[in-house]
Structure 1
């Protein structure tokens, strides 16, 4: 990294490079709550080793932002968080979308008790589940709030 690089990339710098529908759904869910601030602590600059055509080391790539999702999830499981029960439920959904292992969660106990975030969580998940990417194009269905 250069001496002028900030210690940690910004939230927007990281997400500008992400195209995965799963991760973009997780982003929208994180932005419903202050757990986003917790996830941001796992942003870091990363460089990849570069190799020439013969397979010899040839330097490093330019720095790019990453978020160590697996480390964030593992840290949550190891140390816990002082969040509300609803934030813990939201975390379970996000972790199921971003963790590299299969991460089931109890649907009724998680999706059924999201309080004031319920409609927005379902909008994000329906968009994701019906082929939308939560950025440029919507899914095949939309959630209409009840009046």
Structure 2
């Protein structure tokens, strides 16, 4: 399996979720299964079936997180010599040249991308257009609605 790029903050978030699943969720679901088993006949026991389903989800997520973290390559953009250019992990402020709308994104790995938190995947069209660009550069992004132009207002490495 190839390396999975993560920011330090993204890796920490995944470690926290893994710890919660192992120390809180897993014991809780085991307790739920034991309670449902104590109710008798398992063939018509909806609580038992629901607890087993939840257990399968929790165990699957634990495996997924462990795999991701074991193959993670933590990248610290502040340690790179990139001189104000947008790179993986960088936070980039851009302005839509048509609407004047400003937005700030952090370029992150696919695993930690969350558009609601302004974390965009390095493989997204916007991030691909921004990589290597610096303050004052104008980029074109091919979006479903057509080509959009953005000006890079600033690049920082948090």
TM-score normalised by the chain length of structure 2: 0.23
Query: Which structure is higher in strand share?
Result: 2
TM-score normalised by the chain length of structure 1: 0.24
